[in-house]
Amino acid sequence: MSNPAIEALFARFGPRYRYFVSFTAMLGTLSMVLTGTMTNVAIPVIMGAFGVGQDTVHWLATGFIAAMTVSMLLNDWFVRSFGMRATYLGAMAIFAIGAFMGGFSTNIDVMISGRVLQGLGAGLVQPLSMVLMFQVFPINQRGKAMGLFGVGVVVAPTMGPTIGGLLLDGFNWHYVFFASVPVAA
């Protein structure tokens, strides 16, 4: 570890700091991946609610993926310009704002804009989570750390449609967007 800020946090919290970072990184990434798949379940309901066709509603998924890809490419610039902590917190804030926009949207254009913001946040958090894990675990423990992290990332897409369906059945499409806000907070 050559980062003085990380060394100071290890001095303050001890070895358990690794697990604080791991839990935070996994929770953020899990939220992003869950949201990506939960929203897909709500597409037919959203089409009916706003009276739009497949040609318009597909932008909920396409906008998210495109924005996520762009922000992944800009991740290094954000980290160098603002630091890891500010980038991570900023990305989570952008993601939460996008979730609120999607959940409170009164038309499809606002909802698509919210999904694009969510994609921007997700694209910053996902690679940053792995970088954080690599910085806090020594080389001989990184395989185990990435394995645990990978389990969360692999399980999330399978849980997303189930959780999204439960939210649709129990509540309405708004809650598919709101579900990720507590995690972002």
The model's pTM is 0.88
pLDDT tens-place string over residues 128-165: 988 888 888 888 988 888 887 888 788 888 899 999 99
**Closest by alpha carbon to 35, among 129, 115, 91, 105?**
115
Question: In percent, how much of the chain has pLDDT > 70?
Answer: 99
Q: pLDDT grade, residue 20 (50/70/90)?
A: confident
Is pLDDT above 60 for 182? yes
Residue 44 half-sphere exposure toward CB, CA atoms < 13 A? 4
**pLDDT value of position 132:** 86
pLDDT tens-place string over residues 74-126: 999 999 999 988 999 999 999 999 999 999 999 999 999 999 999 999 999 98
Is pLDDT above 70 for 2? no
Is the pLDDT higher at 168 or at 10? 168
Q: What is the DSSP string of 109-126?
A: HHHHHHHHHHHHHHHHHH
Angle between helices 84-104 and 17-50 (to 10 degrees): 20
